[in-house]
Structure 1
Amino acid sequence: MHEGMFAALDPEDCRVLLRTQEVGRVAWISPAAGLLVLPVNYVVRDDLVVFRTSRASVLAELAEGREVSFQVDDIDVSTGNGWSVLVQGVSATPTDPAWLEALRADGPMPWAKGERDLFVTVAVREISGRVVDREEK
């Protein structure tokens, strides 16, 4: 018999898991294109999710400050085990020169080719997560 487990994660566990991955999805309502969900590679600094993009990208809209969701997960399809973390927050563009220099040296490195010099942050306002384990218990 498969009982399995599906449970909420506490916020601190969510923060720990958020730091374990490199790729997540950012979602927002774009004035130009409607509801968008796009993958980004990211890092976590303090309580901020940070990614970089091109100033010509639709992601550059997030520099203006938007309500966004950010999701990251780790799922093993073969075992049915995994977790998902969802961040709700507001996007922004960092302006502190020292912080920007630190991000250039040790921030997210974009996978896409071309100039990606616009850093975008998502301040974690709310964080939640779920874990699933379908193993027989």
Structure 2
Amino acid sequence: MATETRISDRQAWSFLITCILLVVILFGGGLVGCPYYKVWERKMAGQAELQYQQGARQALIAQAAAEDEASIKRAEAATRRVRGWADAAKQGCIDLGRPGDRACQDQLLRDAATYSIAKEGHEGVIVSVGAPVSVAVDPRNGGE
């Protein structure tokens, strides 16, 4: 036995009205929900940008701290190097039989500073060891 299913006109109109109501509800929900979604989307984009900027700021702070530490280490190394030059100049003058000769020590310091500057490729530096020793070197003027 075969049963025949036939939709009555009333059921067809009910189905059509239900579909139309669903479309209207979905369209209305989209119109109402779209502005809220845009606000939420902008809020999320703002939070992402804020996190990016905070990360970039932290990276800059870390870089500045590293550069600060490196400059301190370079200054400490330069100080040790200059103290070594001063000790070597003093010993060199003693070896030459001129202990306590200030001109001898200054000349040896100039030579050491000029050699170091030429070796490292710097254009000029002011070297000082405490108050008594101060040598300014400019390799363009013959090391004086």
Give the TM interval when normalised to the shorter protein: under 0.3
Task: Tell me the TM-score normalized by structure 1.
Answer: 0.24
More helix by share: 2
Higher alpha-carbon Rg: 2
Structure number with the bigger relative contact order (C-alpha 8 A, sep ≥ 6) is: 1
More strand by share: 1
